[in-house]
Structure 1
Amino acid sequence: MNKRQSLPFALLLATFLIWLFFKQEAVLPSLPVHHPSYIATDIKSTHFNKTGFLDHKIFADKATNFNEDELTNFENPKVIVYTHNEQTDTTTVWQMTSAEGALYRQNKLVLSKNVLVKNLSLDQLVQTIKTEQLTLLLDKQEFSSDLLVTWEGPQIHQQGVGIWASLVTEEVIIKDQIKAVYFNENK
């Protein structure tokens, strides 16, 4: 190969090397610092306890999971909690609904905006509970709220600020400013 033939090849090679040196790096889109691990719609999740009995079910229109924070946010969650009494071999079913929910560490569920708790078994003194925010500990089957709570049952309507309840021991404690109305007629 003579100089005349190798000169265009050398110029092409030099141009390519200069282009590589000055070429701008492709900018990849970066994820926000706090990005979700997954987003899912139409959620249906069933959980069992250590003895194999149905413990609870979670339904939601949408779930957004942040794995690094151990947090899952729900839109329109519905939680059904099954409390099995081994002495009487009966199961009481509770349904809790709200507009929003947040599950922390797979155990602490905070329901907010128009929270409604219903006894689907109709076998307890408390039939419905209404509040604006409720914290449910799934492993202990206990819930609490520090806000205004209204609960109703057969022949009773009661309001108060703050509640603690155990679905296992069937205890309910209204903390403050209690107002109750008792009805004499049978429903």
Structure 2
Amino acid sequence: MNKRQAIPYITLLIVFLIWLYLKPQENLPSLPEHHPSYIAYNLDNIHFDETGEIAHKIFASKTTNFSDKETTIFEDPKVIIYIKNEQDNSITTWQVTSKNGFLSGNNKLVLSDDVWVKNLSLDQLIQTMHTEKLTILLAEKEISSDLFVQWEGPQMKQQGIGMWASLISEELIIKKQIKAVYLNETK
């Protein structure tokens, strides 16, 4: 290639380098410091245990996830927890609903504002429970609250302040101010 043929290529290269140098930089919009990883509407989420059985399901009208903090915020959450009885392979199903929920990590779910716990299988002494704030440890299948709790079962109504329950071992501990009414009528 002679000089005459190389001049257009060299000129083109110089113009391109000048354009790169003088090109205005585009300013990308900056995200807030703690922006959500995703926002989902009408979420249906199924979690399985290590054996492949369904451990629990989470439904919510709106879900906002912050992966940098490992937290998820739910609006109108509904959690369905499955407990398998190893002796007879029966499954007890619990449904927990509220207006707001906050999941930290993948295990601790805090529900608040009009929290209801219902036994959908109707096979436990406690059928419904109501409080304003409840914590669920999903892996351990334990629920607890430090607030006023009311619960009902067949032929009984009880209330107290503060509670802890294991859905697996079917234990319930009420911390203080327990009041109970037992009904003698058959339903």
Query: In structure 1, the residue corresponding to 2:129 is in which secondary structure?
Result: strand
Aligned length: 170
1:176 maps onto 2:176 in alignment: yes
Q: Which runs of 5+ in 2 are unaligned?
A: 1-14
1:52 maps onto 2:52 in alignment: yes
1:103 maps onto 2:103 in alignment: yes
Query: In structure 1, the residue corresponding to 2:123 is in which secondary structure?
Result: coil
CA displacement 1:71-98 (0-9 Å, x = unmatched): 0100100000000011121110000000
Match of 2:83? Answer: 83
CA displacement 1:13-48 (0-9 Å, x = unmatched): 9xx99xx49x7x554321111110000111001111
TM-score w.r.t. structure 1 length? Answer: 0.86
Whole-Å Cα distance in 1 between the matches of residues 139 and 117 of structure 2? 18
Whole-Å Cα distance in 2 between the matches of residues 34 and 53 of structure 1? 35
Whole-Å Cα distance in 1 between the matches of residues 123 and 145 of structure 2? 23
Matches within 5 A, 1:1-187: 20=22, 26-187=26-187
Whole-Å Cα distance in 2 between the matches of residues 48 and 178 of structure 1? 36
Identity %: 60
User: What is the deviation of 1:111?
Assistant: 0.6
Match of 1:10? Answer: none
CA displacement 1:51-81 (0-9 Å, x = unmatched): 2221100000010000010001001000000
Q: CA RMSD in A?
A: 1.8
Whole-Å Cα distance in 2 between the matches of residues 38 and 45 of structure 1? 14
Q: Which runs of 5+ in 1 are unaligned?
A: 1-12
TM-score w.r.t. structure 2 length? Answer: 0.86
Letter in 2 for 1:181: V
